[in-house]
Each structure stands twice: as structure tokens, then as C-alpha cells.
Amino acid sequence: MAVRLSFLGSGSAFSGCGANASALLDERVMVDAGSPAHLLLPRLGVRIHDLELVLLTHFHLDHSGTLPLLLGALAHSDEPPEPGRLTIAGPAGTRELIERLTVAGFGGPTQRRIDERVTPRYVVLHDGSDVEIGGSRVRSHAVTHATGPSLAYSVTRSGLRVGFSGDTILCAGLRRLAGEVDALVCECSGPDAPVGGGHLWRGEVAELVEENPGVRFVLNHLTAPVSIPGALVAHDLLTLELTG
């Protein structure tokens, strides 16, 4: 069976190398919401109504900040969304963050419309979570990034395990994730040298690739073009067919 992996955005927060990082599995699961999905999903041939699950790795705005726009687009769509179809999962505090962003940006009436028309379900994940959500099995690993909780995910669909590092340093949680997946979407914020802020650089990612020769790596969260032997490099609106 094949799994379809697409990238709405492939860049880091401020680099201009691409839209902020956000990926899509099988047109149903979106990991992080840094890019305006209500605009970019149609360019991939995907309806916003088709989404079943949004996973947030952490709360920095280049990973979460456009989720209120997606929810608002669903709530104001001429085609009524299926209430309760969409699940939003992430670290403790995900619901509070998204609702505060929505109210701050668009006011209480928009939040009430989302509650009434979209009725998203929220699931709290933590280190070691292993849950079935819709057609996906989601396992989460705590990783080290910055203040606040950060999670990396393994998402299994059609028997294929696809990992998402989120933002992280080279830590035990990331190594556990790399050891259990068939493909790994891995951040690579530093193209030439170590970088601050809890991110990976090319040398560390190359080490991870060498440690896991059976894993297909796709690099994202880029600040500049980068090349690592054995890894693909994401770009905005790239789509890959992954097979077991």
C-alpha cells in the first residue's frame, strides 16, 4: 500500500526559504499548521473538508498560527462541514492556545461559530501516547526544543510508519522516533553550522541518517538550500508516494 506525503510548506519561521512547515498525509492528516491550509490545500487538489486530523508538534506560531484560519474557513464555508469530523491533537494546552488565538484574532463570534459548525474534537498527547485517531495510529515522543512541550510523531497509515520530528535537537526522543519509522520528515534548520533555539543542523541530521540506513529521510524546516546524502529535500507543494 502507498501513502501520499505532501508539503504545504517547507521553510523555517523567518527564512523565506519556503512557507512555514506543514505536511499532509493521505489528504487526511495535517502535521503542524504554519502555512495557510485553506489556501494551499486546494492547490494540492484537497478540500479542507476532507481533513480528519491535525497534529501540532508544539506551540510556536510557525507551527500553529494559521489553524484558526483553517477552522474559520470551515465554519464560514458555504458547504457545511461534518460536525465533529476534525480532531485536533497536540501537547497539553493545545485547545486553550487555539481558542485564544481565534478569539484574539477574530473575536468571540467566530469562535462560537467554529464550536457550533465545526465542533472540533481535541485530544491531549504526551510522551509515550499511542492512540488510534480515525484511520491513523499516532505515537508521540517528547523531544527537546524550547520552552513548553514539544512532541515528535509517528503516524501509521496503510501499514506504513511516517515520522515527523517537529523542531528539536538531536535527543533521545528523536532517536527513538527514527528507530521505529519507515520514513522521517526531519527538520534541518542549520545548513552549514550548529544553530541555536533548539534546532538541528546538517551535521546532526547526517549522523541520524547514517544511524538509520533503512529510513527514508525528507528534510524540511529549511533556512537555506541543503543537501545530505541519503535524504530528500522538501519544497512547497511537493508530493511523494511512499511505499512499504
Residue range 18-27, pLDDT digits in tens: 999 899 999 9
Map out the domains of the chain as residue ranges: 2-243
The share of the chain scoring above pLDDT 70, in percent, equals: 100
Buried b or exposed e, range 178-211, using 16+ CB within 10 angstroms: beebbbbbbbbbbbeeebeebbbbbebbbebbee
Query: Is the confidence at residue 64, as pLDDT, over 90?
Result: yes
Q: How confident is the model at residue 33 (pLDDT cuts 50, 70, 90)?
A: very high
Distance from C-alpha of 17 to C-alpha of 13, rounded to nearest angstrom: 9
pLDDT, tens only, 110-157: 999 999 999 999 999 999 999 999 899 999 999 999 878 999 999 999
What residues contact residue 164 under an 8 Å CB cut-off, 6+ apart? 23, 31, 32, 55, 57, 152, 153, 154, 155, 184, 185
Burial degree of 75 (CB within 10 A; 0-12, 13-18, 19+) = buried
pTM of the model as a whole: 0.97
pLDDT, tens only, 208-238: 999 999 999 999 999 999 999 999 999 999 9
Q: How far apart are the first and last CA of the chain?
A: 7
The reported pLDDT for the residue numbered 17 is: 92
Domain 2-243, second-level architecture: 4-Layer Sandwich (3.60)
The reported pLDDT for the residue numbered 148 is: 84
The reported pLDDT for the residue numbered 16 is: 86
Q: How confident is the model at residue 107 (pLDDT cuts 50, 70, 90)?
A: very high
The reported pLDDT for the residue numbered 146 is: 83
The reported pLDDT for the residue numbered 1 is: 77
The reported pLDDT for the residue numbered 223 is: 96
The reported pLDDT for the residue numbered 147 is: 76
Average pLDDT over residues 2-20: 95
